[in-house]
Amino acid sequence: MKGLASVIGILLVSGVALAGPLEVSIGGGPATTSLDDINTSILLFNTLITHLNETLAVIPGVSGTVGTLAPMISGMALRASERYWVTDWIAVTGCFEYNRVSTGTRGQYIGAETSTIDVSATLTNLSILVGSRIQFLDVGLRLAGDVTAGYFYSTLDHAVVFEIPSEYPDAISGVPPEGEGRASGGTFGVEAGLSMSYPIVDGFCIEALLAYRWATVPVLRDATATPLDFDGNGTPESASLDGLSVQIGFSLALDLSLDGEKGE
């Protein structure tokens, strides 16, 4: 990491010396995240909830239903980027991105006593990426391709209350463990995308980015280094961050040239 930081520092310092333009951009929009293992756990929760709803609906003296959990797929992403244009068509880029996706459900069965089911989970991901942008078309509308790599750090906050009513006729297996906590972990990954930008005035552009990321956190651990086992089946879940994002934002060009020109 120290070597990578040194290379980036040298590039930035050299960039200022070469008097090229710096571009700053901010954007955000919808994003998808795979989360295969965690969504498999959510499917187990939903199977149990559906079974309880169907069974308790025909038992006299018991009322109430609980909604199922939505899969953790869609969320929002925010991005802040800097690009140093080495030439008119290639730039060195660095960006910071924040992604969030969540799910939850809450309901009660009311019989001899009140039984509550309350399940929630929120995954946040912070990533720091460096790479390059190559602009291959400029006809007023500008088209470019991005390739970046860096570190992804994810945190899953979760809480589970899963009370089975005493009226339920049989013992039920596979009930997830109750409790709440936070598990986190990191990994290296890559992201590639296509961007379109349109200049509104000199140095200010509206831009859109379509990007796909590839990264998997092999294990999420809590503060005691215990691996996350969301559904209690004895197998820790990984966090697959693979997914697509569509972001709309703007960029502002800053002239760093020593003579006040735009490094042309």
Smallest CA-to-CA distance from 96 within 117, 115, 82, 75 is with 82
Structure tokens at 210: 């379509």
* pLDDT for residue 146: 96
* pLDDT for residue 234: 87
Calculate the CA 233 to chain-centre distance. Answer: 25
* pLDDT for residue 21: 83
Alpha-carbon torsion 186, 191, 196, 199, what sign?
positive
The amino acid sitting at 62 is V
Residue 168 has φ and ψ, to the nearest 5°, of -60, 130
Strands 90-110 and 114-139, bridge-based pairing: antiparallel
pTM: 0.84
* pLDDT for residue 6: 45
Other Cβ atoms closer than 10 A to 55 = 16
Burial 166-187 (b: 16+ CB within 10 A, else e): ebbeeeeeeebeeeeeebbbbb
Instruction: Name all domains of the chain by residue range, CATH numbers in brackets.
Output: 24-254 (2.40.160.20)
Q: What gap in Å lies between CA 21 and CA 26, rounded to an integer?
A: 17
CA dihedral 227, 230, 232, 234 (to 10 degrees): -40
* pLDDT for residue 257: 56
Q: pLDDT in tens for each of the 264 residues of the chain?
A: 444 444 444 444 444 444 458 999 999 999 999 999 999 999 999 999 999 999 999 999 899 999 999 999 999 999 999 999 999 899 999 999 999 999 999 999 999 899 999 999 999 999 999 999 999 998 889 999 999 999 999 999 999 999 999 888 887 877 888 999 999 999 999 999 999 999 998 889 999 999 999 999 999 999 999 999 998 888 999 999 999 999 999 999 886 554 544 433
Structure tokens at 71: 């899969």
* pLDDT for residue 264: 38
Alpha-carbon torsion 8, 132, 89, 85, what sign?
negative
